Amino acid sequence: MLRPEPRPSPTARNKADRPLIDVQPVRPVVNTVAAGDTSHAYQLLQQKQFAEAAKEAKALAAQFPNDPEAWKIAGFAELNLKQYSQAIDDLEKALNLQEVSKREDINTADALAQAYVLSEKFDRALPLLVTATTRPGAQPDPAMLYYRGLAEYKTGKLVDAERTFNAVVKANPKDSASLFYLAQISVGKNDLDGAIASLNRVTVIDPRFAAAWCARYRHHKIRCRLFECGSRR
């Protein structure tokens, strides 16, 4: 899955060699109108022909508005096209129809959570992300766990965000974005030593992380001034 670039206000991590999310087919749900044949649209999605998949799926959704699979494929395609507003609309429709028919699909819910994050709708993303990272018997996906930490941070739940980012770093000690946010949280607690320690790790892991270098330099200067003031007393 995509995740934000490691910078102060991340939006997305781009990885060209894989789709935005792994799409798993679900059986079309019987509805009061009819179920469209979404097999070709799904094939286009698997072939990464996202514009064509979105167009075909939207046409099917217009003809069969109670078929969640058509809305789902449209939403997945739009998410890959970075059309986040449209993806949210269509994935919300798919999820609502799945809930009504009691055939919920975790891939749809996770895709919607991701679309919320990439649209910076963190308050709407957070409940879905908590669900995605606390499923019984399943290890949380690292990217979804990171998104959860980001949503917690952006909605002011800093204690929760710190706990989540630490869980990400425990699973992957080289997760520079999580370490960067842990440094920001440390600054908020007036823990400059902790912030600098996290930023030192970030710059070793990713020497091109410009925001981390700037923050590290800034916090070193603050710490030096504090030390000088203390020495003069």
Same domain, 18 and 94: yes
What confidence score (pLDDT) does residue 14 get?
42
Measure the CA–CA gap between 22 and 191, rounded to whole angstroms.
39
- To the question of pTM greater than 0.85 for the whole model, the response is no
Taking only the tens place, the pLDDT of each residue in 13-68 is 444 444 455 544 444 443 434 467 999 999 999 999 999 999 999 999 999 999 99
Q: Give the rounded percent of residues in the chain with a pLDDT score beyond 70.
A: 79
Same domain, 217 and 228: yes
- Kindly state the DSSP code that residue 212 receives in the 8-state scheme: H
Measure the CA–CA gap between 186 and 200, rounded to whole angstroms.
13
Provide the pLDDT confidence category of residue 7 given band limits of 50, 70 and 90: very low
Measure the CA–CA gap between 9 and 92, rounded to whole angstroms.
25
Give the domain-ending residue among 120, 140, 161. Answer: 120
Taking only the tens place, the pLDDT of each residue in 207-223 is 999 998 898 878 767 66
Same domain, 98 and 35: yes
Of 26 and 171, which is predicted with more confidence? Answer: 171
- Residue 65 C-alpha from the chain's centroid: 28
Same domain, 98 and 186: no
Q: Is the dihedral of CA 73, 76, 80, 81 positive or negative?
A: positive
The residue segments making up the domain with residue 143 are 129-172
